[in-house]
Structure 1
Amino acid sequence: MGKGKASRFAKKRSKPSTWQEKSPVKAKKYLGQHFLKDEEIAAKIANTLSLKGYKNVIEIGPGTGILTKYLLSRNLNLVALELDAESVIYLNHSFPLENAGIMHRQGSFRVIEADFLKYDISALFENESFAITGNFPYNISTQIVFKLLDIKTSVPEFSGMFQKEVAQRICAGPGSKTYGILSVLVQAFYNAEYLFTVPPNVFDPPPKVDSGVLRLRRKEIFTLDCDEKLFVKVVKAAFNQRRKTLRNSLKTFELSNNLKEDAIFDRRPEQMAVADFIWLTKKIANDTV
């Protein structure tokens, strides 16, 4: 596999061309790939990271490297995690991107053929903090966010492109129809910003939906004043029956009658801010039937 493909990619590298002409890598439907082809949007996404207090960055699913090259124009240590073997070969033969006029100034860069969801991230930067960014495959974007929450102590900043609906859901506040489990769990630890919308026509192939770019910045205090595992259980149980009041959706917790008389149980989950869920979790933890 290596020699034939490697030589083909090497030839492509020496010929200045547009993004579409330059890349021989084709998007694969089974990997959920939609390659961004708009340079201005790629540059905007690369600049969503502040690099304040950290220098290490993981890019998930770099594909043909349109975002990668703008990340490399900054002073950082970049690790690109790519599951597509064809893209890995192409990336290794295309950087630094002399033809794009963007040189890697300082820091380091490496490509690893790996699935972000299964890879041991702790091995990448030892005990140093790192950010995560990327044009995330829609079919695993929610799973990426849940893994982020598992490793939040190492990740002060996160940005990237999602399906617009998912990005809006993550950033939604109480009272919104899109406010849900992802909103509460993410916003318990991060400040979430929806940055801008991206139309389908700037991708190859174009998806059937709009995309949205968001940024998450970890809160200064990101440890909860309650049992975190119980907090997650309470939030998930509440939104799994979002049309019901908490008194009904939290029946499985076998709460005391005294606690269930509290007015908070007359509310529905979309009416609950993160602080309300923390307060409720503490009450449930201390409840005795």
Structure 2
Amino acid sequence: MRHHKKNKKYAQDTKSSSEKTPVRAKKHLGQHFLKDENIAKKIADTLTLKGYTNVIEIGPGTGVLTKYILMKDVQVVAMDLDEESIVYLNHSFALEHPKVVKNNVNFRVIEADFLKYDLSTLFTNEEFAITGNFPYNISSQIVFKTLENRDRIPEFTGMFQKEVAKRICEKEGSKTYGILSVLVQAFYDAEYLFTVHPEVFDPPPKVQSGVLRLIRKKEYSLPCDEKLFFAVVKTAFGQRRKTLRNSLKAFQLDEETKTLNVFSQRPEQLSVDEFIALTTHIQKVRS
């Protein structure tokens, strides 16, 4: 009975946008449109706006989140692959929200695949943040592209499948700590912010969602060969049940190096700093 009351209260407290969305969610694009206005505002407010005034929103869909980003003093590029969404954002969205869609200088809609788009063509080389309700099937790839362009991306916020968001923010010693955790945290401070339940989406996903924030570190260049660092991390976690002595055999290390204590550990036991130190050592013995 108590559980029923809780659900009823949740339904009353949830302020939703129109039930009949102007754009149809497409399964092949992994679309689950956010319909809760309170959650949309909460995600927009995850942007600190410290040191930048430009934002890329990935997968704006029906513009529920877009509206709240545009209420801030920023320039916004909304990028989507869905032609139906692009048409809506370019026409009906502006008519429905004239107070927040000021002019084309502040708001630009691009029909494109973020993973293939040349980000150097945006914002005349100024820095920008990334946010969005990301399609879960490409969310990890979005993170990897962010890392590749970290010199221009001081902040990244957004919604993932909950387990992926948790994994990105996880620390060493956990079974879910992995490649994404180490590579992201080498360059960004990662924070899991809050959980979002399936009921606030149309259609509801079969999993819970999670919102995180990444803030770029002041020192985001590594004191080691970065390509080697990526290779060491990916190789180590590729055989995560093995000790590093076995999983890193491909690097053809000398016997003396392999006697170091770190090589008796499994990858999830190493902190980000220890992975950096390990890479630095491997780099030295190979040079």
TM-score after normalising by structure 2: 0.91
Of 62, 74, 84, the match for 2:72: 74
- The question of whether the paired residues in 2 share the 8 Å contact of 1:77 and 1:109 is answered with yes
- The question of whether the paired residues in 2 share the 8 Å contact of 1:73 and 1:105 is answered with no
1:185, 1:103 → 2: CA distance? Answer: 37
Of 271, 275, 284, the match for 1:286: 284
- Spell out the pairing of 1:127-166 with structure 2 (5 A cutoff): 127-166=125-164
Change (3 A) 1:105 1:25: closer
Q: What is the identity, as a one-letter code, of the residue corresponding to 1:44?
A: K
Q: Which residue of 2 aligns with 1:103?
A: 100
1:18, 1:225 → 2: CA distance? Answer: 48
- Equivalent residue pairs, number: 271
1:98, 1:288 → 2: CA distance? Answer: 61
| 2:245 is the counterpart of 1:247 | yes
- Spell out the pairing of 1:69-218 with structure 2 (5 A cutoff): 69-96=67-94, 98=96, 103-104=100-101, 108-218=106-216
- The question of whether the paired residues in 2 share the 8 Å contact of 1:74 and 1:104 is answered with no
Percent of residue pairs identical: 67
1:97, 1:273 → 2: CA distance? Answer: 51
Ranges of 4+ aligned residues in structure 1 off by more than 2 Å: 17-21, 94-99, 101-107
Q: What is the identity, as a one-letter code, of the residue corresponding to 1:178?
A: T
Change (3 A) 1:288 1:88: closer
Give how far 1:93 is off.
1.3
Three-state SS of the structure 2 residue aligned to 1:186 is helix
Unaligned runs of 5+ in 1: 1-16
- Spell out the pairing of 1:245-284 with structure 2 (5 A cutoff): 245-284=243-282
1:282, 1:208 → 2: CA distance? Answer: 42
Give how far 1:94 is off.
3.0
- The question of whether the paired residues in 1 share the 8 Å contact of 2:17 and 2:36 is answered with no
Q: Which residue of 2 aligns with 1:56?
A: 54
Unaligned runs of 5+ in 2: 1-15
Change (3 A) 1:68 1:113: same
Give how far 1:103 is off.
2.4
Give how far 1:18 is off.
4.5
Q: Which residue of 2 aligns with 1:7?
A: none
TM-score after normalising by structure 1: 0.91
Of 20, 26, 29, the match for 2:27: 29
Give how far 1:127 is off.
1.3
